[in-house]
Structure 1
């Protein structure tokens, strides 16, 4: 059995230290095969926040892939946001949007953040280029295994308090399902969810993680444990007491 930990929205700068310690203890005790981090490592994309996030991820000592969240782009420095949005991510470069393959389970990244849009910048957007890269990644893997797409924003709404309103999300979901993706993991809304969505003649699973920050909403701090046998997937929403 493959076990993956899906964690999101840690928000260093507004992190819940007790929740992080609880997650760290679970990682070191249980040794998951990999960790999928679906964005918002930081609160304001500051250098000290990225330094703390980098040290934390390296300290987990497990294979990790990281998606970029909207909070990981500079908010107040417009020049940096438009022209150097990932400068402070350099220490994490080897983890960012990193495809993973673990014994037949394939993790393919999909970027849903945008540097500029004429609306609330926190909302999601799937560009043609991001979707093209993700579809190529899905097409390249062995269809006998389970194919997981990891992104920050839910591609369609999941009935949570917070919304993603992801531009191009519904079309992206249809294209990913047609290409053979089985699961889409996301974060952003700070509450866990697990939905099955029918797209044409295919079924695709939509799974969201909660948060390890102090910015909880309907649910307490938590993360997802994914248990995979062949093409069978069980999701456990783990919540800190």
Structure 2
């Protein structure tokens, strides 16, 4: 059995300290095999926010892998956003898209953030052809003997939550991932948890979204997902802070 804690949208700079402490206590008490963070470590991509996020993640004492969220790109500096968008990620660089040695489980990264888009709202998702190609290659490498979880920030299709992702290229990406043998896509961004099965060409792929541990809640209280993989099956439990 492999047990994972899937968390998202920590938003250091607008974090909920009591929710973070609650989650950290559960990690200490229950010792999951790994923690998967699907983006938005920070609120405004400030160095001090990344430093606080790095210290907190290190304090968990468990293997951690992190995806990049739209809030983790420079917000006030358009030049930095275009030419060095991930420079401030240095304090957690060793965790970004970090491969994890998990029994029977492969976590495959898929970048859905973009430094520039041909639309006004750059916070929404985008799957580029190159990012999808890399993810599909990794899925193919592991699909025969692993449960394959694809981790990205934006939901690939709309999950029916109050917030939206409007991910360009998301629907064909989901189709391709399902056909390639991925079992689930783990995301964040919308700040409310969800778990929905989609059936594509005879295959079933789960879309699993984590809530937030920040003050920026939507319809649900601060939460994270507990994911248990055993014998090829995948069980998800949304866990909410009181």
TM-score (structure 1 length as normaliser): 0.98
Contact map agreement 1:196 1:205 (CA 8 A) in 2: yes
CA distance in 2, matches of 1:27, 1:186: 20
Q: Paired residue for 1:122? A: 123
SS at match of 2:94: coil
The alpha-carbon deviation at position 94 of structure 1 amounts to 1.2
SS at match of 2:106: strand
Moved more, 33-42 or 93-102: 93-102
Q: Paired residue for 2:69? A: 69
The alpha-carbon deviation at position 142 of structure 1 amounts to 4.5
Q: Paired residue for 2:154? A: 153
* Structure 2 CA distance for partners of 1:171 and 1:57, relative to 1, 3 Å: same
TM-score (structure 2 length as normaliser): 0.98
Moved more, 137-146 or 186-195: 137-146
CA distance in 1, matches of 2:202, 2:237: 27
CA distance in 1, matches of 2:126, 2:143: 28
CA RMSD, 1 decimal: 0.8
Q: Paired residue for 2:204? A: 203
Q: Paired residue for 1:33? A: 33
The alpha-carbon deviation at position 144 of structure 1 amounts to 2.8
Q: Which runs of 4+ in 1 moved over 6 A?
A: none
Contact map agreement 2:143 2:182 (CA 8 A) in 1: no
CA distance in 2, matches of 1:47, 1:221: 24
The alpha-carbon deviation at position 228 of structure 1 amounts to 1.2
SS at match of 1:133: helix
Contact map agreement 2:143 2:181 (CA 8 A) in 1: no
Q: Paired residue for 1:78? A: 78
SS at match of 2:127: coil
Contact map agreement 1:145 1:230 (CA 8 A) in 2: no
Contact map agreement 1:104 1:142 (CA 8 A) in 2: no
Structure 1: gaps (5+ residues): none
Moved more, 6-15 or 57-66: 57-66
Structure 2: gaps (5+ residues): none
Q: Paired residue for 2:186? A: 185
Contact map agreement 1:106 1:147 (CA 8 A) in 2: yes
The alpha-carbon deviation at position 160 of structure 1 amounts to 0.2
